[in-house]
Chains A and B, each alone.
Chain A
Amino acid sequence: MSGSGFRLGIDVGGTNTDAVLMRGREVLATAKSFTTADVRSGVVNAVRMILDKAPEHRASIEAVMIGTTQFVNAFVQRKGLAPVAIFRVSLPKADGVPPLAGWPDDLVEVAGSHIYMVGGGALYTGKDYAPLDEDALRAAAEDARAKGLKAVAISANFAPIRPDIEEKAAAVVQAVMPDARITISSKVGGLGLIDRENAAVINATLAELSERVIGSLQTAIADLEINAPIYISQNDGTLITTETASAFPILTCSAGPTNSIRGAAFLTGLDEAVVADIGGTTTDIGFLLRGFPRETTAANYIGGVRTNFRMPDVLSIGIGGGSLVRKGEGGWTVGPDSVGFRLAEEGLIFGGETLTASDIAVRAGQAEIGDPAKVAHVPDETVEAALDNLHQQIEDAIDQIKTSNHPLPLVLVGGGSILISRALKGTSEVLKPAHAEVANAVGAAIALVSGRVDKLYDVGAMGREDALEQARKEATDAAVAAGAREGEVEIVEIIELPMTHMKSGSVQIRVRAVGPLAALA
């Protein structure tokens, strides 16, 4: 690597594809384009705009970082999902709570109920309680092949401490189903069979789509003649390789809000703040704490399915640039329904017939988009009442996400930030940093690389310090393997959970390590 430090950050959202060219901490150029159905042309359009502004830097780009909400959107909207053959290695245990228990009915239908439970699995000690029933597994795989299934999820009891059981099962299944894309649960989750298996099944439903989308992203970058490695943003705001993202799309499911919060932190230099990302349909309000998004602590649901992923704690409310402005019994209200991406046709300022939040912002003189003459007839009282309602809703949401009454700065990012014109209760100041409209892409461009470990350690036998040391080392090694620069990896999180009712000393240890990308040395 030449060490020029140039990188391209791209955010492929549901509506917009944003791009930013950065060098070190400096934002050199930004661009915004519509997301296209093929993903590729949206990316090409946005990056072309950048290269047109800074053509001399094309060859200097050392890394391309892409954040995308394509996968989580597909899962939430149940679009493009593949039916999955689910093999659980657990008998004689766990037959009372089969895979897909607790899933919403419509998703069970999409995933299909192709469930096969076979013998095998381990105790917490790592000892087998039953051998893997290879004959039953082979017969099940033959049945799945006959059904024409191509996506496979495999789970096994205590796989986080005995991943070899799932790996062996995967080899047996792959031999029968050579074309199958297989997700094993130990790669996508920690302890807790249901949540981990759910993550594996979600991932399997997305595997076909992810290969296609990641492929189009790679084609787009190749078409642009950019010769640099591509990385994808994952949930915690760190990067993974395209191979990893293609095999594990679930790791990208909450990268969108994470990137916008991290981008806001970077653009303002703040360490602690409330961040509101105002889009076309919703406003996502999150909390920036020590430079990272505050994460939820309770169980997390993706599209109605429980998983053990930690997600940014984000509150979504139905306020955006396309929100409908209407008069009801209680006066004027904004949202929660929105014209969404049809704003460019339906909004008054664009010659349409629907009064939207963007029309109010233009009429109030807060923004100059579309044709202001087309909203001149909207009465002042209507504008005032709509702005009152909109600011009130945002204030209420800010109050909910905050941990104390102490006023904090509010950072506005996203295209809809034009809606906000007033001081907001509970905030010390309202900031709209430069490049706020592409904060997501900035968040992608500044991302680090991480490694995680989540396992049971015998602290009684090893001693606590040695166990922690080993967990730290495993997490650090995982970060380096993912592309972090050796020697600069830091441990950012250590969680210890003791196992009760067990011999003294079994502790579940989770460690997360992050470091800068070695490729940007």
Chain B
Amino acid sequence: MFIVDSVQDIQDMARGAVLLGTGGGGDPYVGELFVRAQIKNGRYPKVLSCDEIPDDAFVLSIAGIGAPSVIVEHLVSEKTLHRILARAEAFYGRRVDALISAEIGGANSMFPLALGAISGIPVLDADGVGRAVPHIEMTTFSIYGCKATPGIVMDDSGNVVTIEAVDDRMAEDLCRVVTGAMGAMSFGALYPMTGKQAKSFAVQRTITQTLEIGRAIRTAREDSRDIFESLIDYLNSWDNRTARILFDGKITDVTHDTRDGWHFGRVTMTGLQESSDECVVEIQNEFLVCRLNGKTITIVPDLISILDRESGEPLTGEMLTYGQRVKVLGYSADPMLRRPESLEVLGPRMFGIDEEFQPIESLFASA
């Protein structure tokens, strides 16, 4: 158990959440500001590891759903957070014992902490994917049988829609349509689960991971140590996980395109030192695949992040522009995401990429 009682901790977490957002997931800044204001008023989020709750505890995800560019206008309403909790408890007929993030990458790392701060309900140190993904059915919760619905979706004006879908693929479609009608932003109470399910199906210790990633970057910067060395050392300190710097260069082209509610894009980079190496990262909301001179070196669900090469600040897809100097980071996904049943849902083919998943360890043996 730990208490988030410093503004610096929440800033570190937000920085780490952008890295795990792999280019998507929305900027956590809005949620970070909300929690910072709570911390200044002495209302601290409490984080529990999954072992610290009973098997029969009632656990729920609170998530912002919508377009990153709409969230930055509508921000977040404290009243709405209170209301969705009250509606959810009435709907499920029981008190919520703990909150859990559906995806730790991006904005949804912060909303459970925000509600935790104002309600006193603890937040679990875990989430449903350990990165960001574009669909409701792409979480380990869904994959291992803990469905997203029945759940509720609501907006700030007080519109509430309850959703009960036959499967999570359909839940995604329904949430998307409802959110569209609400102005492309809503809040959802989803993935009702037991403490036992959270222990078995969630990706563990990911709030800690966001905090420690953000801290590794910040402290290296403050002490004028090598930021990327510090970051890679930290990421590799996790059992069964491997981090590599995939590329060091500058952006020579960025394209963006929206089709059917997806953000498609491509970032092209070339090496800094008169090198002819070309690195391309394909975007579909998140960074999906990284290719060096045409050869795949990291592919979804393994993580790809792009960071400013001077400050080490992780960047979202929207922030990338021509001329930026960046480093591309590859990080093996949590082992749970690399199992066959997971790859069926969030492997390369689910994003229209005609390639088999191969782990970063075999694609990119050494830097």
Q: CB distance A157 to B73 under 8 Å?
A: yes
Which residues of chain B have C-beta atoms less than 8 A from A504's C-beta?
A: 258-261
Q: CB distance A192 to B258 under 8 Å?
A: no
Q: Does A95 have its Cβ within 8 Å of any Cβ on chain B?
A: yes
Which listed residue (B30, B67, B156, B250) contacts A500, Cβ 8 A? B67
Given contacts A97-B75, A123-B183, A500-B258, contact A400 B263 (CB under 8 A): no
Chain A 449-463 interface 0/1 with B at a Cβ cutoff of 8 Å (1 = within): 000000000010000
Q: CB distance A298 to B77 under 8 Å?
A: no
From 367 to 404 in chain A, residues with beta carbon under 8 angstroms from any chain B beta carbon are 400, 403-404
Stretch at the interface among A30-38, A124-132, A328-336, A352-360: A124-132
Which residues of chain B have C-beta atoms less than 8 A from A289's C-beta?
A: 323
From 34 to 51 in chain B, residues with beta carbon under 8 angstroms from any chain A beta carbon are 34, 36-37
Given contacts A194-B72, A498-B257, contact A405 B274 (CB under 8 A): yes
Which residues of chain A have C-beta atoms less than 8 A from B261's C-beta?
A: 500-504
B356 to chain A, nearest CB (A): 27
Q: Does A492 have its Cβ within 8 Å of any Cβ on chain B?
A: no
B309 to chain A, nearest CB (A): 10
Q: CB distance B318 to A501 under 8 Å?
A: no
Stretch at the interface among A10-18, A143-151, A505-513: A505-513
From 7 to 46 in chain B, residues with beta carbon under 8 angstroms from any chain A beta carbon are 29-30, 33-34, 36-37
A393 to chain B, nearest CB (A): 14
From 68 to 99 in chain B, residues with beta carbon under 8 angstroms from any chain A beta carbon are 68-70, 72-81
Q: CB distance A500 to B273 under 8 Å?
A: no
From 282 to 323 in chain B, residues with beta carbon under 8 angstroms from any chain A beta carbon are 285, 308, 310-311, 313, 315, 318-321, 323
Q: Does A102 have its Cβ within 8 Å of any Cβ on chain B?
A: yes
Q: CB distance B250 to A96 under 8 Å?
A: no
Most buried by A among B158, B256, B319: B256
From 224 to 265 in chain A, residues with beta carbon under 8 angstroms from any chain B beta carbon are none
Q: Does B184 have its Cβ within 8 Å of any Cβ on chain A?
A: yes
Q: Does A496 have its Cβ within 8 Å of any Cβ on chain B?
A: yes
CA distance A507 to B310 in the complex (A): 30
Q: Does B65 have its Cβ within 8 Å of any Cβ on chain A?
A: yes
Most buried by A among B176, B257, B273: B257
Given contacts A194-B33, A405-B273, A508-B69, contact A502 B319 (CB under 8 A): no
Q: CB distance B75 to A406 under 8 Å?
A: no
Q: Smallest CB-CB separation from B76: which chain A residue? A: A96
Given contacts A101-B36, A130-B157, A191-B69, contact A505 B258 (CB under 8 A): yes
CA distance A26 to B262 in the complex (A): 53
Given contacts A124-B184, A405-B273, A501-B184, contact A94 B76 (CB under 8 A): yes
Which residues of chain A have C-beta atoms less than 8 A from B81's C-beta?
A: 96
Q: CB distance B156 to A125 under 8 Å?
A: no
Q: CB distance B313 to A92 under 8 Å?
A: no
Q: CB distance B256 to A498 under 8 Å?
A: yes
Q: CB distance B77 to A404 under 8 Å?
A: no
Q: CB distance B184 to A123 under 8 Å?
A: yes
Q: Does B325 have its Cβ within 8 Å of any Cβ on chain A?
A: yes
CA distance A157 to B76 in the complex (A): 12
Q: CB distance B183 to A125 under 8 Å?
A: yes
Q: CB distance A96 to B114 under 8 Å?
A: yes
Q: Does B179 have its Cβ within 8 Å of any Cβ on chain A?
A: yes
From 103 to 134 in chain A, residues with beta carbon under 8 angstroms from any chain B beta carbon are 123-125, 127, 129-130
- Determine chain A's interface SS by DSSP, over half rule: loop
Which residues of chain A have C-beta atoms less than 8 A from B258's C-beta?
A: 459, 498-500, 502, 504-507
Q: CB distance A194 to B319 under 8 Å?
A: no
Q: Smallest CB-CB separation from B186: which chain A residue? A: A501
Q: Does B194 have its Cβ within 8 Å of any Cβ on chain A?
A: no
Q: CB distance B37 to A97 under 8 Å?
A: yes
Which residues of chain B have C-beta atoms less than 8 A from A459's C-beta?
A: 258
Which residues of chain A have C-beta atoms less than 8 A from B162's C-beta?
A: none
Q: CB distance A93 to B176 under 8 Å?
A: no
Q: Smallest CB-CB separation from A400: which chain B residue? A: B310
- Determine chain B's interface SS by DSSP, over half rule: mixed
Which residues of chain B have C-beta atoms less than 8 A from A191's C-beta?
A: 69, 72-73
Q: CB distance A101 to B74 under 8 Å?
A: no
Q: Smallest CB-CB separation from B273: which chain A residue? A: A405
Q: CB distance A404 to B272 under 8 Å?
A: yes
Which listed residue (B65, B70, B263) contacts A124, Cβ 8 A? B70
CA distance A97 to B75 in the complex (A): 7
Q: Does A87 have its Cβ within 8 Å of any Cβ on chain B?
A: no
B107 to chain A, nearest CB (A): 12
Q: Does B208 have its Cβ within 8 Å of any Cβ on chain A?
A: no
CA distance A193 to B323 in the complex (A): 27
A286 to chain B, nearest CB (A): 13
A19 to chain B, nearest CB (A): 34
Given contacts A194-B75, A499-B70, A501-B261, contact A405 B272 (CB under 8 A): yes
B60 to chain A, nearest CB (A): 19
Q: Smallest CB-CB separation from B114: which chain A residue? A: A96
A299 to chain B, nearest CB (A): 8
From 315 to 367 in chain B, residues with beta carbon under 8 angstroms from any chain A beta carbon are 315, 318-321, 323-325
Q: Does B128 have its Cβ within 8 Å of any Cβ on chain A?
A: no
Which listed residue (A127, A192, A405) contacts B72, Cβ 8 A? A192
CA distance A497 to B68 in the complex (A): 11
Given contacts A404-B250, A506-B258, contact A193 B77 (CB under 8 A): no
Q: CB distance B184 to A94 under 8 Å?
A: no
Q: CB distance A95 to B313 under 8 Å?
A: no
Which residues of chain A have C-beta atoms less than 8 A from B274's C-beta?
A: 404-406
Which residues of chain A have C-beta atoms less than 8 A from B324's C-beta?
A: 297
Q: CB distance B315 to A298 under 8 Å?
A: yes
Q: CB distance B80 to A92 under 8 Å?
A: yes
Q: Does A304 have its Cβ within 8 Å of any Cβ on chain B?
A: no
CA distance A250 to B74 in the complex (A): 24
Q: Does A351 have its Cβ within 8 Å of any Cβ on chain B?
A: no
CA distance A289 to B322 in the complex (A): 12
Which residues of chain A have C-beta atoms less than 8 A from B67's C-beta?
A: 124, 499-502
Q: Smallest CB-CB separation from B82: which chain A residue? A: A96
Q: Does B66 have its Cβ within 8 Å of any Cβ on chain A?
A: yes
From 462 to 518 in chain A, residues with beta carbon under 8 angstroms from any chain B beta carbon are 495-508
CA distance A98 to B65 in the complex (A): 21
Q: Does B180 have its Cβ within 8 Å of any Cβ on chain A?
A: yes
Q: Can you list 8 pairs linking A and B with CB atoms under 8 Å apart?
A: A94-B75, A191-B73, A193-B74, A500-B69, A500-B258, A500-B261, A500-B263, A501-B176
Binding site for A on B (CB under 8 A): 29-30, 33-34, 36-37, 65-70, 72-81, 114, 156-158, 176, 179-180, 183-184, 250, 256-263, 272-274, 285, 308, 310-311, 313, 315, 318-321, 323-325
In the A-B complex, the 7 residue pairs with the smallest Cβ-Cβ separation, listed nearest first, are A498-B258, A123-B183, A94-B75, A500-B263, A96-B78, A501-B67, A96-B76
